[in-house]
A and B are shown apart, each in its own frame.
Chain A
Amino acid sequence: MKAVLLDAAKRKRLQRMLKLQYGIDSRLPSTLVQSGEGKIRIATPEAYEAAELLRGVHSVGLYVVKVVDGTPVLSIEGTHLFCRDIRQNVVELSHEQSDAWMSASPVQLKTHTATKYVVARSGPDCLGCGRTSGSKAFPYVPRWRRIVSQSRFEAGGPQRKADSEDNYI
């Protein structure tokens, strides 16, 4: 992977899109790296410099946002980083709804929403973005990160592929 720094114009555009969609007006970190398919990652300056010198680079920094048809869709970590600054297009979830969200189950919204993407929040936790359709929100949770419910697990139902941490040590 070739890590390419986001130039000033793209940076400004991203800042504007984040403000428009989620009301985020805090300054973006200094090192933003483009990594294909409209994905943008945040890195430390030292990480970017090191990546320039190394071979076989697979990724640099943290994936925070993907621009889809001109709309920024934040990753779970992206919403975590900007959690306090997100002011619009937010849905507040109960604890039960949060569990459902992280299982990638659609969540019923209280009202219809015109916007295409929303951020889910539950108390202090930001749970990433979801796509809306009518009065439902469909969470964007990567397959490897979903919570598989205990009952499904115990019943011998479909299980997620062994989590990477299962190999921990």
Chain B
Amino acid sequence: MKRAFVDCMAKPRLSEELCEDLRLLLPNESEQLLECCSRPLRETIRVNTLKIDKDTLVSRLTKYGWVLSPVSWCDYGYWVERSSRDIGKTLEHALGYYYMQGAVSLVPVVVLGPQPGEKVLDICAAPGSKTTQMGQEMRNTGVIVANDSDLKRIRALSSNTQKCGLINCVITLVDGRRFPNWAANMFDRVLVDAPCTATGIIRKSWAAASNWTRRLARKISRLQRSLLLAGFDCLKTGGELVYATCSLSPEENEENVSELLQARPKAELLTLEVPGIHTRPGVAEWRGRRFDSSMAKTIRIYPHDNDAEGFFIAKVAKVK
């Protein structure tokens, strides 16, 4: 045990509690995971097909000397293998022809599959990566209600929806937990991309990993659960919800989905299959607590499985 702590304390360091949890979660692979997290995250872009087609953009960026390769699980995502300049400082980026977005962060919208003409709610939308991705999936039709409770983050959301050219977006600034008071049973699809302790993206910010505590995870888990219930209550019967976090902690993931299944009898977990990406089923048990047996239908994406970010994703339908 002591040796394990020594490894975890190597720079960049993780909190002791997080270290313990990761070892419990992945007993034989925690070193691989930590090694992967010590490397910088590979850059990816999403082509904004509302403004430019894929081939035209790739050809323009290739002329600058960029080397791009397709992301296998999203047909408008590209790994930036080599770039001649900072990828956020090009004319194409300023014009909103592409958006810098983590490769695995593309998956929740792919799984949700919003269709043109639908009514969709993104209950924790800022800064707008997934909102703008949904906008292009919906071909700028129907409506996306993009909500966040923080004014500073709303400004970022507003800038990004503007830059990406979304005409089907309504931005609201309210506490997402209150949404069912006026929007119950209103939406065809809901995305709950909940705020989390971000342990799946420690490659981007080690601060989260070094300050992580179980207490913090518990606290944020309560907020996530309320948002998940609120999001579900806003779904029409027959509608579908995706719950996603960039955290690896079962308290923030399987435990919340399990609570939803208990609290809402109309909630039914759907099986997820995402071709092209390495995923694993959700955990059935955590620290002595057994979850609903259908939890294997959810997916966990670990950073070292795809050399990208870590995510948890669950898809729930509202049945009659």
With A164-B128, A169-B201, A169-B246 given, is the CB distance from A153 to B86 under 8 Å?
yes
Specify which chain B residues have a CB less than 8 angstroms from the CB of A49 in the assembled complex: 143
Specify which chain B residues have a CB less than 8 angstroms from the CB of A148 in the assembled complex: 89
With A57-B172, A76-B95 given, is the CB distance from A44 to B140 under 8 Å?
yes
Candidates B91, B105, B161; contact of A147 at CB < 8 Å: B91
8 Å CB interface, B55-101 against A: 85-86, 88-91, 93-96, 99-101
Candidates A54, A63, A77, A167; contact of B182 at CB < 8 Å: A54
Candidates A53, A75, A99, A165; contact of B100 at CB < 8 Å: A165
A46 within 8 A of B: yes
* Contacting pair A58 B171 (CB below 8 A): yes
Q: How far is the CB of B90 from chain A (nearest CB, A)?
A: 7
CA distance A42 to B165 in the complex (A): 10
8 Å CB interface, B123-138 against A: 127-129
CA distance A150 to B94 in the complex (A): 14
Candidates A57, A122, A125, A150; contact of B86 at CB < 8 Å: A150
**How many residues of chain B have a CB within 8 Å of chain A?**
57
A19 within 8 A of B: no
B163 within 8 A of A: yes
8 Å CB interface, A5-27 against B: none
8 Å CB interface, A103-136 against B: 122, 125, 127
Most chain B Cβ neighbours within 10 Å, of A75, A102, A142, A165: A165
Candidates B91, B159, B161, B204; contact of A99 at CB < 8 Å: B91
With A145-B159, A150-B86, A168-B127 given, is the CB distance from A47 to B169 under 8 Å?
yes
* Contacting pair B91 A58 (CB below 8 A): no
Q: How far is the CB of A148 from chain B (nearest CB, A)?
A: 6
CA distance A156 to B162 in the complex (A): 29
The DSSP consensus for interface residues of chain A is mixed
* Contacting pair A46 B142 (CB below 8 A): yes
A91 within 8 A of B: no
Specify which chain A residues have a CB less than 8 angstroms from the CB of B89 in the assembled complex: 147-150, 153
Q: How far is the CB of A30 from chain B (nearest CB, A)?
A: 11
A50 within 8 A of B: yes
CA distance A56 to B168 in the complex (A): 17
* Contacting pair A44 B167 (CB below 8 A): yes
With CB as the reference atom, state the residue of chain B lying closest to A142: B159
Candidates B117, B158, B163; contact of A145 at CB < 8 Å: B163
* Contacting pair A169 B182 (CB below 8 A): no
CA distance A135 to B218 in the complex (A): 62
8 Å CB interface, A39-67 against B: 42-44, 46-47, 49-51, 53-63
Chain B residues with CB under 8 Å of chain A are 51, 85-86, 88-91, 93-96, 99-102, 105, 117, 119, 127-129, 140-145, 147, 153-163, 165-174, 182-183, 186, 198, 201, 204, 246, 309
Chain A residues with CB under 8 Å of chain B are 29, 42-44, 46-47, 49-51, 53-63, 75-77, 80-81, 95, 98-99, 102, 122, 125, 127, 141-142, 144-150, 153, 163-169
Q: 7 closest Cβ contacts across the A-B interface? A: A164-B156, A56-B174, A46-B143, A58-B171, A47-B143, A44-B168, A102-B94
